[in-house]
Amino acid sequence: LIGHSQGAQTVRYVASVRPDLIASVTSIGGANYGSGIIDLISQKLPANSQAEHAAQLVFDAFGGVISLLSGNSDLPQNTMGALNSLSTQGAHAFNQKYPEGLPLNECEQGQLVAENGVYYFSWSGTAALTNILDLTDLPMLLGSLLILGKDDGLVSRCSSHLGHVIKDDYEMNHLDEINQFIGLHNFREVDPIELYRQHVKRLQELGL
């Protein structure tokens, strides 16, 4: 299983509850310890306030665009649920229930093979502006300015760590990691698609 961003929690959950069905989990730009930018947004949005409702409309629309670009335009959006699960507090609660693959200390390497017998991997980027033609780089830059330390525009380098960390400082932002927008990325960096090819080969060599 491979999960990007919030999808990292999804694949970790599946591997935790049904490890008999899963050979490996790979987290790409996953907020495994939460996202500082989500914490900031949550603090500024009092529950049931007009600001919260306005933000929900904006983020639901953004999620709809991402779904459209991913070929799944009919997927439902739940902004507040996402914010809660991706906050530091929400991620901590999730990690208490499903700890497999996490490093003993944040920003360290985790176990390649966890107690449940599943292999865990991760990688992420630490860039915001990566291609002058990419319109999505601007929101990535704004996000990066709100996060302490190295990050991909939404998730910090340390928060992305899970299992064996393949690399945590690719010249990629959060959307480059999944080859969006329309494949524009830093052309001095490895093509995101090539990263997936390399990883498939890695898994094959491990017999997974």
The set of catalytic residues is 5, 152, 174
**Four-residue CA torsion sign, 34, 27, 133, 58:** negative
Strands (E), 116-163: 119-125
Q: How far apart are CA 162 and CA 101, in angstroms?
A: 6
What amino acid is encoded at 125 in this protein? G
Q: Could you tell me the two tokens for 153?
A: 């525009």
The C-alpha atoms of residue 75 and residue 40 are separated, in whole angstroms, by 26
Backbone angles phi, psi at 4, to 5 degrees: -105, 140
